């Protein structure tokens, strides 16, 4: 399953770059209503009755004087409560979606398909922001009655109201939120699912209040420009998400600048030796240190070193030989630890330090792709020819 830290970072970056603006387009009215609640202690001077007697002038002036400015902390309290409520509900939802994904136990290619679906959904949302009417009819919308109910609740003076409204925004998702929910399902654990949704809400927090206010208060022309700008950002993230999903499924590889492939065969006892085993002085390097070798029993061993990356990312191995893939963790971390071979349905969490062995069987000639669960780190083993 994907690393919780990697998913948290994905959620934060998506929320920061696209989520704040996109969610403000859907939920901005609710936020503005919660933030602009009127303090009952502040009574506008216009509501006071002017006394009839001339001797009451001083009283009128005192009553008509502007109220004492509200402290900054008190002004920020409603938006803070709103975002705390939103963070709580989305974190709980992410955990539940992660549990659902764990119970479902989707294969690597099913998870990759969900990533692609999330990206496609973001593309539709971007087109909706661009004003494509045909796409707008396909986008999910909250019931109008639900929105009116929350807006009426926002006018109350209870300090708990903004938090309850923020908690309820989980029922009014924007397109990017729905995409993050699909990614939470692919996480396959409550912790990872909660991490991606919590990260997403935290990423939206810095811009959410300002963009929500702009979408509600500015002119239609400026709102349209903001929507178009948001659409460009969402479209860029959607492209990255679809590309990651395609790579995670092993269907394509976009990595063009690959290092030279490690080649086979090497033998431990009495066999052939590749020139790359010798250093510049002609000294022999131990065969067990080679990325591709053949042990004394005739089994082919392919060793992939896992740090925050995969090294090397390309191998050339012999087809028709029993083969074991060794994942050698060396302070491994990030998404690279969530190793998958989509074609074989293999999912392994690499040890931070140590070896994890995967039996690849006897492969026919062809390419076998591997990747991290998010499709960000990829590589391949090219099986060629056969045993001599």
What mean pLDDT value characterizes the chain?
Answer: 74
Indicate the burial class of 22 (C-beta count within 10 angstroms; 0-12, 13-18, 19 or more).
buried
Residue 214: band (very low, low, confident or very high) from pLDDT cuts 50, 70, 90: low
Structure tokens at 349: 């969490």
Q: At what angle do helices 175-187 and 72-104 cross, to 10 degrees?
A: 50
Name the more confident of 355 and 60: 355
| pLDDT of residue 21 exceeding 80 | no
Give the phi and the psi of residue 87 in degrees, each rounded to 5.
-60, -45
Domains of the chain from N-terminus onward: 4-40+71-248 (no CATH), 285-384 (2.60.40.420)
Structure tokens at 96: 């539940």
Q: What angle do CA 254, 260, 266 make, to 5 degrees?
A: 130
**336 and 310 in contact (C-beta within 8 Å)?**
yes
pLDDT of residue 56: 45
- Tell me what percent of the residues of the chain surpass a pLDDT of 70: 62
Question: Dmax of the chain from CA atoms?
Answer: 117
pLDDT of residue 90: 93
Residue 306: band (very low, low, confident or very high) from pLDDT cuts 50, 70, 90: very high
Residue 34: band (very low, low, confident or very high) from pLDDT cuts 50, 70, 90: low
- Least confident residue range of 162-171, 204-213, 356-365: 204-213
pLDDT of residue 297: 93
Neighbours of 128 (CB within 10 A): 23
pLDDT of residue 318: 95
Per-residue model confidence as pLDDT tens digits over 249-284:
999 888 655 555 676 555 554 444 444 444 444 444
| Average pLDDT score over residue span 5-32 | 71
Residue 304: band (very low, low, confident or very high) from pLDDT cuts 50, 70, 90: very high
């Amino acid at each position: 399953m994907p690393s919780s830290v990697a998913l948290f970072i994905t959620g934060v970056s998506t929320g920061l770059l696209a989520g704040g603006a996109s969610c403000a387009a859907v939920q901005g009215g609710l936020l503005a209503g919660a933030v602009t609640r009127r303090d009952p202690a502040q009574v506008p001077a216009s509501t006071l009755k002017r006394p009839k007697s001339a001797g009451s002038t001083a009283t009128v002036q005192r009553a008509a004087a502007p109220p004492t400015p509200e402290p900054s902390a008190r002004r920020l309290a409603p938006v803070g409560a709103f975002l705390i409520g939103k963070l709580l509900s989305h974190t709980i939802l992410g955990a539940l979606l992660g549990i659902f994904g764990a119970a479902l136990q989707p294969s690597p290619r099913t998870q990759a398909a969900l990533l692609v679906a999330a990206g496609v959904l973001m593309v539709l949302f971007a087109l909706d922001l661009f004003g494509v009417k045909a796409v707008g009819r396909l986008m999910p919308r909250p019931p109008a009655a639900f929105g009116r109910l929350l807006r009426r609740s926002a006018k109350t003076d209870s300090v708990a109201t903004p938090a309850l409204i923020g908690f309820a925004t989980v029922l009014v998702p924007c397109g990017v939120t729905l995409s993050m929910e699909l990614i939470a399902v692919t996480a396959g654990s409550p912790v990872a699912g909660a991490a991606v949704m919590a990260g997403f809400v935290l990423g939206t927090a810095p811009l959410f209040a300002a963009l929500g206010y702009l979408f509600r208060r500015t002119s239609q022309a400026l709102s349209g420009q903001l929507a178009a700008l948001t659409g460009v950002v969402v479209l860029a993230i959607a492209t990255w998400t679809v590309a990651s999903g395609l790579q995670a499924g092993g269907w394509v590889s976009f990595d063009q600048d690959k290092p030279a492939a490690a080649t086979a065969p090497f033998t431990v006892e009495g066999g052939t030796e590749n020139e790359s085993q010798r250093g510049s002085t002609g000294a022999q390097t131990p065969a067990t240190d080679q990325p591709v070798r053949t042990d004394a029993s005739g089994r082919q061993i392919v060793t992939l070193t896992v740090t925050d990356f995969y090294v090397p990312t390309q191998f050339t191995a012999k087809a028709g030989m029993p083969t074991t893939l060794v994942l050698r963790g060396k302070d491994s971390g990030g998404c690279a630890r969530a190793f998958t071979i989509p074609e074989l349905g293999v999912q392994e969490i690499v040890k931070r330090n140590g070896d994890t062995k995967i039996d690849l069987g006897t492969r026919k000639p062809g390419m076998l792709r591997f990747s991290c669960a998010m499709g960000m780190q990829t590589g391949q083993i090219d099986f060629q020819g056969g045993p001599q």
